[in-house]
Amino acid sequence: MPDREEIIKGARQFIADFKPFCGNKSDWQRVDDAIALLKAQEPRMLTMNEIPEHDGAVFIEYKNGDEDWGIYVYEDGPFFKFNMLTAGVMLPLEDYGVEWRAWTGRPTAEQRWPE
């Protein structure tokens, strides 16, 4: 599945290629609007305080390059407990921002930890 940046790049290329030939402004304006919406919804890293308040799924990025989608369940002592699609996982609070991070969506290549 293409990531957000690939979709935006493809949409921009579509406009560049077909805008000169499109007589109906509303056709390419919808693509411009879609790009603006995707940009406005760019993922951002949640603070530890935001995780329990976040409504819906979060994207979990691990420093080792692994990733997963989870839904925050609750704070259990020194852990955040996430209900993953396959099984629950408990992540140490003390490792947040060091070994793992939670995002509102899949982070872009530029936002990820360097390899």
Are 48 and 69 within one domain?
yes
Q: 35 and 53, same structural domain?
A: no
Q: Containing domain of residue 36, as a range?
A: 4-40
- 12 plus 30 within the same structural domain: yes
What one-character-per-residue DSSP string does 58-91 give? Answer: EEEEETTS-EEEEEEEEEETTEEEEEESSSEEEE
On whether both 114 and 66 belong to a single domain, the answer is: yes
Q: Do 73 and 106 fall into the same domain?
A: yes
pLDDT at 1: 46
Q: Are residues 88 and 53 in the same domain?
A: yes
pLDDT tens by residue, 67-115? 888 887 777 788 888 887 657 788 999 999 999 999 988 888 888 988 7
pTM, two decimal places: 0.65
